[in-house]
């Protein structure tokens, strides 16, 4: 059966082309330590809705889609307009003794399940109808979605004993930090990112290309987040927390820790939470 999507996209492009340049950029941008949407300061209340893309993949689709719509309606009605979504999990089965979420986007190294994008496409489409924005994370440090440890196991950087064995915090920290020194692991991560946001993902899933709702594709957490913080060498004793050091705009400029503060969700003078920066 011949796909009609190219024709549909061509028609939409022909209709919208004369108006594209006159419209503001639909994505959130950053300027002078603030976020902007359509040339206006952008503030929001957000939530971690990581499983949103999985609801449309339930065996009982009516149940999953119905739940998705009810939850989005509830969030929107309560002023939540920005949601953090998971692009997809890596691997299957146990990781650190925990059953990871699924279905997996990348069940085997380099092999992707395109059907998983249907779930992500659905939640983006439903969010678009409600004028909600999304931050999509492509992978993470934690076991419940496979994450960086799965890439490390696939490439022999850590033992597959960690599939069933529950590690201590220090062991997690040491294991995950190896990801940033494993080129094949980082290449595997980039392949998954390209699958989600590249031509294959966009061409077959129209809302990823056309719906005005993507804010940011969240990049991997910085490795220093998992490392011990060194004690201060000054007479003041232990190093103060980043939250204390980053209080206020002036403090952020003095300490150079704007990103660290913003990633925790700083607040403006009205008390509303500012946009979260990808870390």
Structure confidence by residue, pLDDT tens digits, 31-66: 888 888 888 898 889 999 999 999 999 999 899 999
pLDDT number for residue 255: 39
Residue 115: how many other CB atoms lie within 10 Å: 10
pLDDT number for residue 169: 92
pLDDT number for residue 197: 81
CA distance linking residue 195 with residue 90, whole number of Å: 13
Q: How confident is the model at residue 163 (pLDDT cuts 50, 70, 90)?
A: very high
pLDDT number for residue 252: 38
Q: Please give the angle made by the CA atoms of 150, 152 and 158, to the nearest 5 degrees.
A: 110
Which residues have a Cβ under 8 Å from the Cβ of 68 and sit 6 or more positions away? 52, 55, 56, 122, 123, 126
Helix axes 147-154, 183-197, angle to 10 degrees: 120
pLDDT number for residue 39: 85
Does residue 148 register a pLDDT over 80?
yes
Beta strands in the chain (DSSP E): 29-31, 34-37, 40-41, 45-48, 80-86, 94-95, 98-99, 133-137, 214-218
Measure CA 50 to chain center: 8
pLDDT number for residue 38: 83
Mean pLDDT in residue range 163-184: 94
Does residue 154 register a pLDDT over 90?
yes
The closest of 113, 120, 116 to 136, measured between CA atoms, is 120
- Report which DSSP code applies to 45: E
Q: Which domains does the chain have, with CATH numbers?
A: 23-227 (3.20.20.80), 239-279 (no CATH)
224 vs 187, residue with greater confidence: 187
205 vs 262, residue with greater confidence: 205
Cα radius of gyration (the chain): 21
The closest of 126, 84, 113 to 218, measured between CA atoms, is 84
């Amino acid at each position: 059966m011949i796909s009609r999507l190219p024709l549909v996209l061509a028609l939409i492009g022909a209709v919208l082309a004369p108006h594209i340049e006159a419209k503001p950029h639909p994505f959130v941008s950053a300027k002078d330590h603030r976020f902007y949407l359509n040339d206006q300061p952008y503030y929001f209340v957000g939530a971690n809705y990581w499983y949103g893309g999985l609801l449309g993949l339930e065996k009982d689709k009516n149940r999953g889609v119905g739940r998705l719509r009810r939850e989005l309606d509830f969030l929107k009605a309560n002023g939540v307009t920005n949601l953090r979504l998971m692009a997809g999990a890596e691997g299957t089965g146990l990781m650190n003794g925990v059953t990871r979420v699924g279905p997996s986007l990348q069940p085997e190294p380099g092999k992707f399940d395109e059907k998983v994008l249907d779930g992500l496409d659905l939640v983006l489409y439903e969010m678009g109808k409600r004028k909600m924005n999304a931050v999509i994370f492509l992978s993470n440090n934690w076991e419940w979605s496979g994450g960086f440890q799965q890439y490390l196991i696939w490439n022999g950087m850590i033992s597959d004993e960690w599939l069933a064995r529950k590690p201590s915090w220090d062991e997690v920290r040491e294991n995950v930090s190896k990801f940033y020194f494993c080129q094949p692991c980082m290449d595997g991560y980039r392949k998954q990112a390209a699958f989600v946001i590249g031509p294959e993902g966009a061409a077959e899933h129209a809302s990823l290309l056309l719906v005005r709702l993507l804010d940011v594709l969240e990049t991997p957490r910085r490795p220093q987040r998992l490392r011990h913080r060194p004690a201060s060498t000054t007479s003041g004793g232990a190093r103060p927390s980043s939250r204390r050091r980053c209080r206020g705009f002036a403090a952020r400029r003095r300490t150079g820790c704007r990103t660290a503060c913003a990633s925790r969700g700083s607040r403006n003078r009205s008390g509303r939470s500012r946009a979260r920066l990808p870390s």
